[in-house]
Amino acid sequence: MPDIAERTMLLRGSIALPDDLKLVTAEFQEGWNCVQSGDTHWLDKQIRKFGWHFIWIAEGSLKGGVGQTSQEAIASAVKLALRRVRERYNAAEVEHIKVTHYGWFFLAAVRIYSYQIQQNADLSFPAESTSLLIPPRARAAGIAGSRSSTAFSSGIGLSH
């Protein structure tokens, strides 16, 4: 199993991607693959280079996991968080990891965010799923502001 770090991207096994995209992945768990070619920013650039869309969904999931090593604890937390990613979204980013060592075990807290990678610019879902969509580079530049205040105080966004 690949090591998981912040900015790691995970893709559903059934994801459609541009034909010429050179992507190295490793199987993670439960139908998800870990991108080993690069991090979120690298994947964003690659997807957009082919004219596709890399859309951040304002829907995060924070989960905890335990393990005998820090990576086992992180993998356990990521596995639980990925179960909260709605099936219509085909990618997820590991945004934040905090690991604490308690003698003979590790406890990891992991936050992940959903993404949609697609060729079409139209992100149309049923009416109940209104989302705040912000490209990662705008978010990274601070234009998007705080996730919690931007996505949820305005009444826009999804929560689990």
Quote the pLDDT of residue 38.
Answer: 84
Domain range enclosing 142: 9-152
The one-letter amino acid at 14: S
By C-alpha distance, which of 62, 141, 68, 117 is closest to 94? 62
- Per residue in 2-46, pLDDT (tens digit) is 789 999 999 999 899 998 998 899 999 889 999 998 888 999 999
Q: Can you give the C-alpha Rg of the chain in angstroms?
A: 16
Say if 67 falls within a structural domain. yes
Residue partners of 132: CB distance under 8 A and separation at least 6: 57, 58, 150, 151, 154, 156, 157
pTM for the model: 0.74
Q: What is the DSSP letter of 47?
A: H
Structure tokens given for 139: 């978010």
Q: What is the DSSP letter of 139?
A: H
8 Å CB contact between 106 and 117: no
The one-letter amino acid at 25: T
Max avg pLDDT among 61-75, 109-123, 125-139, 143-157: 61-75
Count of structural domains, the chain: 1
- Per residue in 47-75, pLDDT (tens digit) is 999 999 999 988 789 999 999 999 999 99
Say if 1 falls within a structural domain. no
Say if 2 falls within a structural domain. no
Q: Give the span between the Cα atoms of 63 and 141, in whole angstroms.
A: 26
Q: Give the span between the Cα atoms of 58 and 107, in whole angstroms.
A: 26
Say if 116 falls within a structural domain. yes
Residue partners of 89: CB distance under 8 A and separation at least 6: 57, 59, 114, 115, 116
Structure tokens given for 143: 């234009």
Say if 98 falls within a structural domain. yes
Say if 112 falls within a structural domain. yes
